[in-house]
Amino acid sequence: MNFIQTAWRAIWLAAVCVAAGCARQAVEPAPAHPLVWDAMKKSASPKFEDGMARFEFHVTNTSKYPVKIWQIRASCGCTTWEAPRMPWTLAPGEKGTVKGIVDFRGKEGEIAKDLLISTVEGYQTLMMVIQVPLMDPAMRAQNQVLAAANRQAVFQGECAVCHAVPAESRFGPDLFEAVCGVCHQAKHQASMVPDLNVAKEQRDAAWWTRWVEEGREGTLMPGFAKKRGGPLDDSQVESLVEYLVATFPKEPKKN
Ligand code: HEC
Ligand code: HEC
93 and 59 inside one domain = yes
Q: Which pLDDT belongs to residue 84?
A: 97
The answer to the question of residue 10 being in a domain is no
The answer to the question of residue 253 being in a domain is no
Positive or negative: CA dihedral 88, 90, 94, 95: positive
Q: Using an 8 Å Cβ cutoff, are 108 and 185 in contact?
A: no
| C-alpha to C-alpha distance for 124 and 41, rounded to whole angstroms | 11
146 and 211 inside one domain = yes
Domain count, the chain: 2
Would the CB of 128 count as within 6 Å of ligand 1? Answer: no
Q: How confident is the model at residue 6 (pLDDT cuts 50, 70, 90)?
A: low
109 and 142 inside one domain = no
Would the CB of 111 count as within 6 Å of ligand 1? Answer: no
Domain end, chosen from 132, 149, 165, is at 132
| Rounded average pLDDT over 66-76 | 96
From the number of C-beta atoms within 10 Å of its C-beta (0-12, 13-18, 19+), residue 10 rates as exposed
The answer to the question of residue 205 being in a domain is yes
Closest CA to 90 of 33, 168, 27: 33
**CATH no. for residue 228?**
1.10.760
Q: Compute the half-sphere exposure of residue 221: CA atoms within 13 Å on the CB side of its CA.
A: 18
Would the CB of 150 count as within 6 Å of ligand 1? Answer: no
What tens digit of pLDDT does each residue of 81-105 get? 999 999 999 999 999 999 999 999 8
Would the CB of 186 count as within 6 Å of ligand 1? Answer: yes
Q: Tell which phi-psi region holds residue 150, choosing left (phi > 0), alpha (psi between -120 and 50) or beta.
A: beta
The answer to the question of residue 4 being in a domain is no
Would the CB of 135 count as within 6 Å of ligand 1? Answer: yes
Q: Which ligand is nearest to the CA of 225?
A: 2
142 and 239 inside one domain = yes
| C-alpha to C-alpha distance for 208 and 196, rounded to whole angstroms | 11
Ligand 1, atom 36, lies closest to the CA of 159
Ligand 1 atom nearest to 51, measured from its CA: 1
DSSP sequence for 221-241: ----BGGGT-SB-HHHHHHHH
**CATH no. for residue 97?**
2.60.40.10
| C-alpha to C-alpha distance for 118 and 229, rounded to whole angstroms | 44
Distance from Cα 201 to the centre of ligand 1, integer Å: 27
Domain end, chosen from 132, 153, 173, is at 132
Q: Using an 8 Å Cβ cutoff, are 89 and 127 in contact?
A: no
Domain end, chosen from 117, 132, 147, is at 132
Structural domain boundaries enclosing 48: 35-132
Q: Which pLDDT belongs to residue 17?
A: 52
Would the CB of 154 count as within 6 Å of ligand 1? Answer: yes
With the most atoms of ligand 2 within 8 angstroms of its CB, the residue from 177, 221, 234 to mutate is 221
The answer to the question of residue 106 being in a domain is yes
The answer to the question of residue 147 being in a domain is yes
Alpha helices by DSSP H, listed for the chain, are 2-20, 22-27, 137-149, 160-163, 172-175, 181-184, 205-214, 234-247
Q: Using an 8 Å Cβ cutoff, are 154 and 166 in contact?
A: no
With the most atoms of ligand 2 within 8 angstroms of its CB, the residue from 183, 189, 240 to mutate is 183
148 and 238 inside one domain = yes
Distance from Cα 248 to the centre of ligand 2, integer Å: 14
What tens digit of pLDDT does each residue of 159-217 get? 998 899 989 999 999 999 889 998 998 878 889 999 999 999 999 999 999 999 999 99
- Residues at CB less than 6 angstroms from ligand 2: 154, 163, 179-180, 182-184, 192-194, 196, 200, 211-212, 216, 219-221, 224, 240, 244
The answer to the question of residue 200 being in a domain is yes
The answer to the question of residue 240 being in a domain is yes
158 and 222 inside one domain = yes
Helices 234-247 and 205-214 meet at what angle, rounded to 10? 130
Q: Compute the half-sphere exposure of residue 195: CA atoms within 13 Å on the CB side of its CA.
A: 6
